[in-house]
Amino acid sequence: MEQRVIYKGRTALITGASSGIGAAFAAELAARGCDVVLVARREARLKDLAADLERTHGVQAHVVVADLSRSDAPGAVHAATRDLGVHVDVLVNNAGFGGYGPFSGADAGRDQDMVMVNVAAPVALTHRFLPAMVSRGDGIVINVSSAAAFQPLPYQVVYAASKAFLQSFSEGLWAENQHTGVRVVACAPAATDTEYFEVVGNDREARFGAMRPASGVVTATLDALDRGAVHTVIGLRWKLTALLPRLLSRAAMARMTERMTRPQG
C-alpha cells in the first residue's frame, strides 16, 4: 500500500552533493520543504548550491566538506551534524565513482579509494545515523546503487562489485527495518547525465546506452520510497537486464557483459 513520505520539516544529509545525482536529490528534497546537509569535497560548489537552495526554497542548507575516501571522514561528518545542532532524518548515500579498463592495468590506490567511497563510507555513515532513526521510529536511508549491481561488469570490475555490495546491504537493511518506522531503498540507475563518465575517462564503452537526467533518477527513487519498494531500477531496458542473471548462468552473464563493454580497438 502506497504511503507518501512527507519531507517538510525534515533534514536530509546527502553525500556527493556537489553535482549530478547528489545535487538533484538536494534540489528535489529542498523543493519538498526539507532542510539539507550537503557533503562533498568541493566547498565552493557546495556553498553555491546551498545559497541557491536557501534562496529558491526557503530551507536551511548546511555545508560539510569531507573526502569520503578517508577512513575518518564519516565520523567527522557525524560530528559536524552535532555541531550544527541538526538530527538527520533522511540519509542519502550517493557519493561514488568508477573506473574503466582491465583490472590488471588499474591503479591500485584509486581502486582502494573507490572501495572506501562506494562501500566503506555508506556503511559507516549508516552506522552513525540509523540507530537514532530507529530510536525515533522514523527515518529514511537511500543508497544510490547502480544497474551494474546485478551482474559482473568486466572492465569496471571494482565499481560493479562495490555496487553489488551496496545493493545487498540495502536490501538487508530494508528487511531488518520493516517494523521500525525507518524506510530503506536502493536506487539502481544506469547511465546518467552526470560527471561520472568524465571521472571514468571513457564515455562510449563505459556508459553502455543513452544517458538519463539525474532528476529522473531522484523522482523514481522517491516514488519507490512511497511504495515501500526494496529497490528501483531506472529504465525499462535495465529492469529487463537486471532479470537476466536469473535466467543465465553466471559464466554466461559474465561473457555477455564482457562482449558488451569490451574496449574497442
List C-alpha distances in Å: 162 to 10, 109, 167, 203, 246.
30, 15, 9, 20, 20
Q: For 93-133, how does the pLDDT look when each residue is reduced to its tens digit (9 = 90+)?
A: 999 999 999 999 999 999 999 999 999 999 999 999 999 99
List C-alpha distances in Å: 119 to 47, 197, 198.
26, 19, 21
Q: For 235-260, how does the pLDDT look when each residue is reduced to its tens digit (9 = 90+)?
A: 666 665 666 666 667 777 667 677 77
* Active-site residue flag, 159: yes
DSSP string over 24-46: HHHHHHHHTT-EEEEEES-HHHH
Least confident among 73-87, 131-145, 206-220 = 206-220
End-to-end alpha-carbon separation of the chain, Å?
A: 51
Per the residue annotation, which of 19, 146, 163, 170 is the catalytic one?
163
| 174 or 202, greater pLDDT | 174
List C-alpha distances in Å: 139 to 4, 51, 102.
13, 26, 40
What is the distance between the alpha carbons of residues 126 and 143, in angstroms, rounded to a whole number?
Answer: 10
For the chain, give the longest Cα–Cα distance. Answer: 56
Q: What is the value of pTM for the model shown? A: 0.88
Q: For 184-234, how does the pLDDT look when each residue is reduced to its tens digit (9 = 90+)?
A: 999 998 765 554 445 445 555 545 556 678 889 999 999 999 999 999 887
Domains and CATH numbers, the chain: 11-261 (3.40.50.720)
Cβ count near 162 (within 10 Å):
27
Report pLDDT for 206.
Answer: 45
Q: What residue type is assigned to position 185 of the chain?
A: V
Per the residue annotation, which of 7, 100, 155, 159 is the catalytic one?
159
17 near 211, Cβ under 8 Å?
Answer: no
Q: What residue type is assigned to position 64 of the chain?
A: V
Per the residue annotation, which of 145, 146, 162, 170 is the catalytic one?
145
Report pLDDT for 220.
Answer: 93
For 82, list phi and psi in degrees, rounded to 5.
-65, -45
